[in-house]
Amino acid sequence: MAEVLIYVDHVDGAVRKPTLELLTLARRLGEPVAVHLGPGAQEAAKVLGEYGATRVLAADAPEFADYLVVPKVAALKAAYDAVSPAAVLVPSSGEGKEIAARLAVRLESGLITDAVDVEPGEDGPVATQSVFAAAYTTRSRITRGTPVITVKPNSAAPEAASAAGTVEELEVSFDDAARGTKVTSRTERESTGRPELTEAAIVVSGGRGVNGAENFPVIEALADSLGAAVGASRAAVDAGWYPHSNQVGQTGKSVSPQLYIAAGISGAIQHRAGMQTSKTIVAVNKDSEAPIFDLVDYGVVGDLFNVLPQLTEEVKTRKG
Ligand SMILES: Cc1cc2nc3c(=O)[nH]c(=O)nc-3n(C[C@H](O)[C@H](O)[C@H](O)COP(=O)(O)OP(=O)(O)OC[C@H]3O[C@@H](n4cnc5c(N)ncnc54)[C@H](O)[C@@H]3O)c2cc1C
């Protein structure tokens, strides 16, 4: 059976959920072989094996942390040379897309980014993308070289499927180009304890209707009851009520959670562009004519300051 390379996104061996989703999708195409770069390969291999990785090619070197992106491309290329896979799947993060693009150039292969599904096809994998603010769905196939595909978080539900997950050392050497951009300092962001916006299974977002930074705890309380990430419209962010890093939309982050709750957000096209592929969309808006209601699965016409606290309480009660 053909092998499929999976680039592992992890923090010191703690594998992030998008990688488990990739393993689940990869099993449709062949036998997943995971590429783990940096520390924690043994720990990661247990999880990667549980989700179907037959082998885990592991390399650790200071270059992965000290220089941006290119050393990781060199390692993924070394894994490619060792395996000759039928396809390479990479999580669609900013870094993932850069790694995938650089690898595709090295392989002289075609590249598809931000896929929301990948299926086997007669002439190779077929990837689905949601484009033009999700107004169109396209299906594409790579016609040149080995397909390199990045897949958006939350595109598949991770399904366990036990495999060996045998760790094998990957030999990697770095040329001068790999050391082209050095990291000069690192400052850790204060943790909110909430999931990463682009990876979260549930996102609760607030807009201009929240009417001030002092009211955002209403959004945060609902998010915390659901274990969700907090998003915001550009209007809320531009008003200084919430950090820019939480903006959802065309000029913010693109999210595709299982559940997206928009509170006090009108549903402008630029906001929709960043959340329209969410599986279930719920809106709370006091204007029954708000365009967001054209998009939703469930809509509540009401004042968010009345609806959200009740919803939060109900979630807490049901969770016991
Ligand atoms: C080039 C460009 C890029 C852009 N990029 C983005 C982007 O990335 N993300 C983004 O979000 N926007 C973006 N915008 C801005 C976008 O066009 C809208 O202006 C913005 O999304 C509006 O934010 P909003 O829905 O929070 O505010 P509004 O459109 O003002 O809507 C507020 C809503 O809250 C409702 N409301 C008010 N009070 C309450 C209450 N108490 N309870 C319930 N509902 C209430 C109102 O009925 C209204 O529907 C971009 C615009 C441009 C031109």
Superfamily of chain region 202-319: TPP-binding domain (3.40.50.1220)
Query: For the domain 3-179, what is the CATH code?
Result: 3.40.50.620
Q: How distant, in Å, are the alpha carbons of 222, 260, 272, 312 from that of 308?
A: 7, 14, 21, 6
- Ligand 1 centroid – CA 269 distance (Å): 9
Distance 239 CA to ligand 1 centre (A): 11
Atom of ligand 1 nearest to the CA of 287: 47
Distance of CA 222 to the CA centre of its chain: 22
What pLDDT is recorded for position 133? Answer: 66
Is 202-319 the same fold as 3-179? yes
Beta-bridge partners for 151: 91, 115
Looking from the CA of residue 251, the nearest atom of ligand 1 is 8
**Beta-carbon contacts of residue 152 (< 8 Å; ≥ 6 apart):** 92, 114, 115, 116, 254, 256, 277
How many angstroms separate the alpha carbon of residue 251 from the centre of ligand 1? 13
Q: How far apart are CA 285 and CA 273, in angstroms?
A: 19
CA of 313 to the centre of ligand 1 (A): 26
Token pair, residue 1, equals 């059976």
Half-sphere exposure of 311 (CA within 13 A, CB side): 22
CA of 228 to the centre of ligand 1 (A): 21
Q: Whose CA is nearest to atom 23 of ligand 1?
A: 235
**pTM exceeds 0.85, yes or no:** no
Q: Ligand 1 pocket check: which of 233, 282, 306 to mutate, most ligand atoms within 8 Å of Cβ? A: 233
Residues with CB under 6 A from ligand 1: 207-209, 233-236, 247-252, 264-266, 268, 270-271, 274, 284-287, 290, 303-305
Q: Break the chain into its structural domains and give their ranges.
A: 3-179, 202-319
Ligand 1 atom with the shortest distance to the CA of 274: 8
Pocket-testing residue among 208, 248, 260, 308, ligand 1, by greatest number of atoms within 8 A of Cβ: 208
Atom nearest to 290 CA in ligand 1: 49
| Residues 91, 153 contacting (CB under 8 angstroms) | yes
Q: Please tell me the distance between residue 234's alpha carbon and the centre of ligand 1 in angstroms.
A: 7
Give residue 61's pLDDT: 97
User: Going residue by residue through the chain (320 aa), what tens digit of pLDDT does each one get?
Assistant: 799 999 999 999 999 999 999 999 999 999 999 999 999 999 999 999 999 999 999 999 999 999 999 999 999 999 999 999 999 999 999 999 999 999 999 999 999 999 999 999 999 999 999 887 677 899 999 999 999 999 998 889 999 999 999 999 999 999 999 999 999 999 988 888 999 998 899 999 999 999 999 999 999 999 999 999 999 999 999 999 999 999 999 999 989 899 999 999 999 999 998 998 899 999 999 999 999 999 999 999 999 999 999 999 999 999 88
